[in-house]
Amino acid sequence: MKILITGGCGFVGTNLCLYLNDRGHKIYSLDNLSRKGSKYNLNLLKKNKIKNYRFDITNFKNIDLLPKFDLIIDCCAEAAVEISKKKIDLVFNTNLIGTFNILKKAKADKSKIIFLSTSRVYPIEMLNKLINKDKIKYKILSRKKINEHTSTNGPKSIYGFTKISSEMLIEEFAYQFNLKYIINRCGVISGPLQFGKQDQGFVSLWIWKHLNKLKLNYIGFGGFGNQVRDVLHIDDLCSLINIQINKINKIHNKFFTVGGSNHSKVSLRELTKICQKITGNIIKIGKIKKTSNYDIPYYVTDNSKIKKIYKWTVKKNIHDIVNDIYNWFVKDKKVINKYF
């Protein structure tokens, strides 16, 4: 199958390019190389003879010049939630106008679409209720998992708005123009080739800071580090998408919550202990008590639907994720250092 992967030099995109290329698909990337680490990943694509179109997804004139593809995997996004406070135009154009342009291309070529959405389509107020603020250290009490039936009504961040709006736009195009699609609402994804930062890719950032004995902070919710996320290894996501591609003619026009679930949920404090053990380093971690109005205390995915339909399960836990990132860092530390 001839496949275009948007954001193909990003963390998720590059891993998908390499994984699907190894499984016999003809892979192409679309990436303007604006993100930190994208040139590192571009070199990996070149070594595997995967062409990258250095186009901006917000410019349809560029998108319209592309050849026809059987499938487009749209994982191009400005994914840092906090950035959407300051750079609304950038987030809106990249995430929503970008999806619109891809849909116009898919409509013209009758391409199928797999869209990588986000757990941040769920409302902040609802997720904030999953902690007990009367507890001194903001301990997480909830065991609730988020699934396809969880309401998306309510403010969710500008970033979350652009992603839920993209989902709706895909549904409208599919209804009107008979497109086949899959939407995956992903939680935190991590693994090798991720150049992490504070509000995106926190697992790889945590490991890098420990490896290099650099300072970190627990930010928000009292500064205790009790926020919980489930983390999905990029290999597990690639495996799922490969299954979805193979079955898309039979299983399509559905959306799924996809994450590490209880198999790999972790708090920042727990992650710190894991990083200390693997690196042998104990670093100073400060406390910033103030909580961003975009931050959430807890998110764990319910994979029941996707497990039932695709017989897919999460294989790698948080220890596997940390180990794989750590080994990548150690193997290529001097080069990687240029991008952190």
Which range is least confidently modeled, 2-11, 122-131, 151-160, 272-281?
Answer: 122-131
pLDDT at 218 over 90: yes
Q: Give the mean pLDDT of the chain.
A: 94
Parent domain of 100: 2-339
Structure tokens at 182: 């899959």
Cα–Cα nearest to 44, from 21, 24, 66, 60: 21
- Can you give the pLDDT at residue 151? 96
If phi > 0 it is left, if psi is from -120 to 50 it is alpha, else beta; for residue 290 that is beta
pLDDT at 142 over 80: no
CA distances from 279 to 189, 283, 293 (A): 21, 11, 33
- Can you give the pLDDT at residue 335? 87
Cα–Cα nearest to 53, from 78, 72, 80: 72
pLDDT band at 198; cut points 50, 70, 90: confident
Give the span between the Cα atoms of 189 and 236, in whole angstroms: 10
DSSP 124-138: HHHHHTTB-TTSTT-
- Can you give the pLDDT at residue 340? 74
**How many domains does the chain fold into?**
1
Residue 322 CB neighbour total at 10 angstroms: 25
Work out the average pLDDT over 271-277: 98
pLDDT band at 339; cut points 50, 70, 90: confident
Work out the average pLDDT over 152-171: 97
Any residues with CB less than 8 A from the CB of 149 and at least 6 apart, and which?
none
CA distances from 60 to 84, 89, 98, 114 (A): 22, 17, 8, 19
DSSP 158-224: HHHHHHHHHHHHHHHHHHHH---EEEEEE-EEE-TT---BTTB-HHHHHHHHHHTT--EEEESGGGS
pLDDT band at 86; cut points 50, 70, 90: confident
Give the span between the Cα atoms of 193 and 48, in whole angstroms: 15
pLDDT at 139 over 80: no
Alpha carbon 280 to chain centroid, angstroms? 29
Which of helix, strand or coil describes residue 89?
helix
Work out the average pLDDT over 174-192: 97
pLDDT at 131 over 80: no
Structure tokens at 330: 């150690």
What angle do the packed helices 11-21 and 38-47 form, to 10 degrees? 10
Work out the average pLDDT over 187-213: 92
Per-residue DSSP letter, 91: H
pLDDT band at 132; cut points 50, 70, 90: low
Domain containing residue 175: CATH number? 3.40.50.720
Work out the average pLDDT over 153-161: 96
- Can you give the pLDDT at residue 138? 63
Share of the chain above pLDDT 90, in %: 85
Q: What pLDDT, in 10s, does the model give residues 104-123?
A: 999 999 999 999 999 999 99
Q: What pLDDT, in 10s, does the model give residues 41-57?
A: 999 999 999 999 999 99
- Can you give the pLDDT at residue 140? 62
